[in-house]
Amino acid sequence: MKKENFLAFLKGVFLIQLFILITIIGVSTDINNYFMNRVQNIEPRNTLLMPFSGLQISNEQGESLIGELNIAMSGNYDKVSDSIFAFLKPENLIIANLQILAHASSGVINKEINEGNKDKDDSTPTPVISLPKINQPKLKGDLSGYKVFYYCTHSAETYVRESGTARVDGERGFVNNVAENMAVKLKEYGINAVFDDTIHDYPQYSRSYTNSRETVTQFLSNHDNVIAVFDVHRDSIPGLNTATTVEFDGRKSAQILIIVGTDERTPHPNWRRNLQFAQKLYHKGQEMYPDLIKGITTKPGTYNQEYHPRALLLEMGTEYNSYDEADYAGELFTEVLVEVLKEEI
C-alpha cells in the first residue's frame, strides 16, 4: 500500500511539472512571436532555456526594436508602430523582464561613486511630473547685488545638426554656447552672471560630476550673494531621432526639462528647496511661454545641488534640436528667471 501511494505521489509531481513546462513554453512562444513578426530571418532556438540567446538579428534590427521600446516608454506613442503596443502590455512586460533577469549577469551601468556620494549619470528619459505651487520664503536685497552661476558637467554635449554628432569628446559642445549666452542675456537685466567653461567630462567621463563639483564648490567659496546655480545639459531619448519644439513670435524654441536631485540614494536634506525653486520657474514659464518648460523630473542623486538651495540641472532640448532652437529656449528661460527672482527679492 505504501508503495502504491509513493508511485501515485511521483505521478502527481510529474504531472504538475509537465503542466508548468507546457505553460512556460506557451508563454515563451507568445513573447518570441512578437520578435519573429518584427524581425525577419529569426530562428527561435533555445527560447525556453536561454530566452533571446538564439535570436540572430543585425545591429540595425536590434536598434530598431530597442529604440521603439524606449520611445514608447518615454510617452512618444505617435512615433512607434502599432505592433509595439502588444508587447508593452503589462503581462508581456512582466514576463519579458523575468526572462531577462533570470539570465542576466550583475553589473553597474552609468553609476558614479565619488567620496561616498553617488550621482546618477543617466540620459535615459524619466517621467515628467507636474507639481503644485509651494510658497518659498522671500529673500531681501537688490537684484544687482546677486550672482547667478552657469556651468556644464557634460561639456562635450552638443547638437547633431551643427556638430554632426551628439558629443565632441575633449571639446566644448554647443551646450556651452547656450549656457554662456544665458549668462550674457542675464547681465542685460543688471544681474551679475558668470559662466565657467571648464571641461569636466574628459578624459574620464565617469568623473564628470566629481570635476564639476570642484568647480561649483570653488565658485561658491569665492563669491558671496550667489542666488542661483545652473548645470546646463541637453536631453537625449535613445531611439528618437526627432525633436519637439514650441513656437513664440514666429520662432521655434526647444523645450526645457528641469532635473531635481533627491535624497533617495544619498543624503540631501534640503533638496525640496531646489524643488520649490524649480516649481516657481515652471509655473512662471507656463504664464509667460506655455510649454517652454515641459516639466520637472526628480532623480536619485544630488547633481551638486546640495551646495545651494537654488541649484538646478537644465536640459536644453535634445541632441536633435538645432543650436538656434536651444539658444532661443535659453533666451526665453532667462526672461522667466528674471521674473521669478524679482518676485523672490
- Same domain, residue pair 115 and 97: no
User: What's the pLDDT at 131?
Assistant: 40
Which pLDDT tens digits describe the chain residue by residue (345 residues)? 555 665 666 666 667 766 666 666 554 545 444 444 444 444 433 434 444 444 455 555 555 555 554 554 444 544 444 444 444 444 444 444 443 343 333 333 233 323 333 444 443 333 344 443 334 334 444 678 899 999 999 999 999 999 999 999 999 999 999 999 999 999 999 999 999 999 999 999 999 999 999 999 999 999 999 999 999 999 998 888 999 999 999 999 999 999 999 999 999 998 999 999 999 999 999 999 999 999 999 999 999 999 999 999 999 999 999 999 999 999 999 999 999 999 887
Residue 323 makes CB contacts below 8 A (sequence gap 6+) with: 159, 161, 162, 174, 177, 178
10 Å Cβ neighbour count for 221? 8
CATH no. for residue 294?
3.40.630.40
- Same domain, residue pair 12 and 131: no
Dig out the grid coordinates for 324 from the structure: 538656434
- Same domain, residue pair 92 and 147: no
Of 103, 131, 162, the residue at which a domain comes to its end is 103
Look up the domain containing 12 and give its range. Answer: 2-103
Nearest to 171 by CA among 157, 161, 156: 156
- Same domain, residue pair 45 and 152: no
Q: What is the distance between the alpha carbons of residues 254 and 162, in angstroms, rounded to a whole number? A: 15
- Same domain, residue pair 95 and 133: no
User: What's the pLDDT at 9?
Assistant: 65
Of 51, 73, 103, the residue at which a domain comes to its end is 103
User: Is there a contact between 145 and 225 (Cβ–Cβ < 8 Å)?
Assistant: yes
Q: Is 179 helix (H, G, I), strand (E, B) or coil?
A: helix
* Torsion over CA: 297, 298, 300, 304 (sign): positive
Q: Rounded to the nearest 10 degrees, how much is the dihedral formed by the CA atoms of 261, 265, 269, 273?
A: 20
- Same domain, residue pair 43 and 126: no
Of 85, 103, 121, the residue at which a domain comes to its end is 103
- Same domain, residue pair 20 and 158: no
- Same domain, residue pair 57 and 141: no
User: What's the pLDDT at 63?
Assistant: 55
User: What's the pLDDT at 41?
Assistant: 43
User: What's the pLDDT at 68?
Assistant: 52
